[in-house]
Chain A
Amino acid sequence: MHGPLIDTLARQGVTRRTFMKYCATLASMMALPPAAGRAMAEAMASAPAATKRPSVIWLPFQECTGCTESITRSHSPTLEGLIFDAISLDYQETLMAAAGHQAEEALHAAMKANEGKYLLIVDGSIPLGLDGAYSCIAGKSNLDTLKEVAKGAAAIVAMGSCAAFGGIPKANPNPTGAVSVSDIIKDKPIINIPGCPPIPVVMTGVLAHFLTFGSLPELDGKGRPKAFYGETIHDRCYRRPFYDQGKFAKTFDDEGARNGWCLFELGCKGPVTYNACATVKWNGGTSWPVESGHGCLGCSEPDFWDGGGFYKALSMPADPLKMAAGAAVAGAAVGVAMSFANRGKKGAAKAAHETTTLADLEK
């Protein structure tokens, strides 16, 4: 097997065998049959040089660039990053050298040259408030840009929780009227890769799938690839046995925390969060939030920011009970009032009671 990618990898000291192993791992992670690893390797390796590589356009909207940071930093310069050699990333504001009019030209050139074939990646939410004036690029609102670029895309990847579900910009009270990509675009295949930020290998896995099979992987009800978002953090968590034994850390520095017990009581959202952190981990498999001692925030779920507080256990009230005390007082008051009313009734009945004498009966 050879091709431009294999040559590039060889130049960077990565052997063909390592590349094959990576593809096999990626395929198994995505729950694809073993043969898919080889197919993936062949598809990526034989991706022809520069001009014909699949075009990818990456649009940033209301975002913090954390998604880009995640992908470029944490796995670079490993094989994860090199997957980008199999694609032609034609527009990515953070990574591209061009700026201003040049950047816009690159965008439009890529759109024109790959009409109907390019993959559109979006990170960030789209503001609808004030006619989209909250976020503009090159004098155009994000809404207009998205509609324009999405028209010629083969598929759209909503990268990160903001693009997938609205994310932090959409958090209550949502001042900019932020919405997700799927709220606007209805006629294109959309794959959501939520997370704040999402796991890099999920991104590269989806790209590899697209390159190999020309289609998107199997998705769940929220448009997320099932292979990565098929199970909850809680179900795959290495601290799960402690949950089942009822061993919980009560504070971040008690004995339970030091013993690595379950973080449920400290507000872990693992039970309601679908993501692959517990198995894939972060920073090249180094660690992940729960392993470093903090509960899951549930960042790959819609509206995770408004989930009632990061440090409140899922079984606890999301808000303080505001009416309960008043209701208790009212209940007691009504009860006492009723008891007086009943007493009055009893008294009245007693007063109205007429004594029957023998003489009455003989009448």
Chain B
Amino acid sequence: MNEMQFLTWVRGQGLDLAVSIFLLGVLWRIFEIYSLGRKKDLAAPRHVAGASGWHTIFRRSLPPEGMMKKSPVTYVGGYIFHIGLAIVVFLFAPHIKLIQSLTGLSWPGLPSQFIDLVAVVTIAAMVVVLFDRINKPVKRYLSTFEDWFTWTLAFLPVLTGWMAVQHLLLPYATMLALHILSVELLLVFLPFTKLFHAFTVFGSRWYIGKINGHKGVAV
């Protein structure tokens, strides 16, 4: 298999397979998780300002008091790489073109030099966050194989995409194919690992906020 055949495979059959597994897994888990529901709380609700599902969805995106000082790398690094990923994934012109061809939806992109800068910053933030996880004994103790694995799954597409654009290490076609392959691996594993938080994070926050709000606790 030469590099063009490899590229055509990842753009064709490989993509079909990955997207199919992704859709199957995502729909399966969404239906299953959200149909579980919660047991009805028969106690009378306590009304406290700011204690509700919607508040918690927003509030959990901000660091709790004192935590920013205690664990700045987690918060700053986390913000940077999440926002960076969103910009790179959804505002790079070729990515928009792919989304458009799959869903029909499209929107304006950002200049590729800016995307390039964001990619570099995102890569740096992800590396820093990883080193922090290795360095801090507590974080390291709490980390399982899944944490290292999902970090790698999320990191490789950014790295290979940036390297392809910069023509580093391998010819562009090979690197582009590797980039698409890494995204496909991410798609395949996303529904079955903690990366699924992309779909459940706000739902679970709402549940937590709702349950605690019922008890009159603003969390």
Interface residues in chain A, defined as those with a beta carbon under 8 Å from any beta carbon in chain B:
221, 232, 234-235, 243-246, 248, 264-265, 271-272, 274, 298, 301-304, 306-308, 312-319, 321-324, 326-328, 330-332, 334-336, 338-339, 342-343
Contacts and interface: CB of A to CB of B under 8 A. Distances in A.
A332 B108 CA distance: 32
Interface in B1-32: 2, 4-5, 7-8, 11-13, 15-17, 19-21, 23-32
Contact of B24 (A308, A317, A330, A336): A330
Contacts of B23: 324, 327-328, 331
Contacts of B15: 317-318, 321
Contacts of A328: 20, 23-24, 27
B89 to A, nearest CB: 12
B152 to A, nearest CB: 23
A315 B94 contact: yes
Given A246-B111, A323-B16, A331-B23, A342 B98 contact: no
B140 interface: no
Contact of A331 (B5, B12, B27): B27
Given A246-B112, A248-B93, A334 B11 contact: no
Contact of B27 (A298, A302, A323, A332): A332
B176 interface: yes
Given A264-B97, A313-B94, 20 more contacts: A234-B172, A245-B111, A246-B109, A248-B93, A264-B93, A264-B94, A272-B4, A303-B4, A303-B8, A306-B8, A315-B94, A316-B11, A324-B20, A327-B23, A330-B24, A334-B31, A335-B28, A335-B29, A338-B35, A339-B35
Given A315-B94, A315-B97, A323-B20, A336 B31 contact: yes
Interface string B122-141: 00000000000000000000
Nearest to A321: B16
A265 B167 contact: no
20 contacts: A264-B93, A264-B97, A271-B172, A272-B4, A298-B4, A302-B5, A303-B5, A307-B8, A313-B94, A314-B176, A315-B94, A316-B101, A317-B16, A318-B11, A318-B12, A324-B23, A334-B24, A336-B31, A339-B36, A342-B36
B112 A342 contact: no
A327 B97 contact: no
B68 interface: no
B30 A335 contact: yes
B31 A335 contact: yes
Interface in B156-200: 167, 171-173, 176
B113 interface: yes
Interface residues of B, number: 44
Contacts of B101: 312-313, 316-317
A327 B20 CA distance: 5
Contacts of A308: 8, 11-12
B2 A302 contact: yes
A319 B13 contact: yes
Contacts of B76: none
B4 A304 contact: yes
B95 interface: yes
B111 A244 contact: yes
A107 B51 CA distance: 93
Contacts of B17: 323
Contact of B113 (A244, A274, A315, A334): A244
Nearest to B177: A272
Contacts of B13: 319
Contacts of B7: 272, 307
A351 B35 CA distance: 20
A321 B19 contact: yes
B102 A339 contact: no
B4 A338 contact: no
Contacts of A306: 5, 8
B110 interface: yes
B19 A324 contact: yes
A321 B20 CA distance: 8
Nearest to A342: B36
A99 to B, nearest CB: 38
A328 B25 CA distance: 8
Contacts of A316: 11, 97-98, 101
A321 B111 contact: no
Contacts of A321: 15-16, 19-20, 102
B35 A342 contact: yes
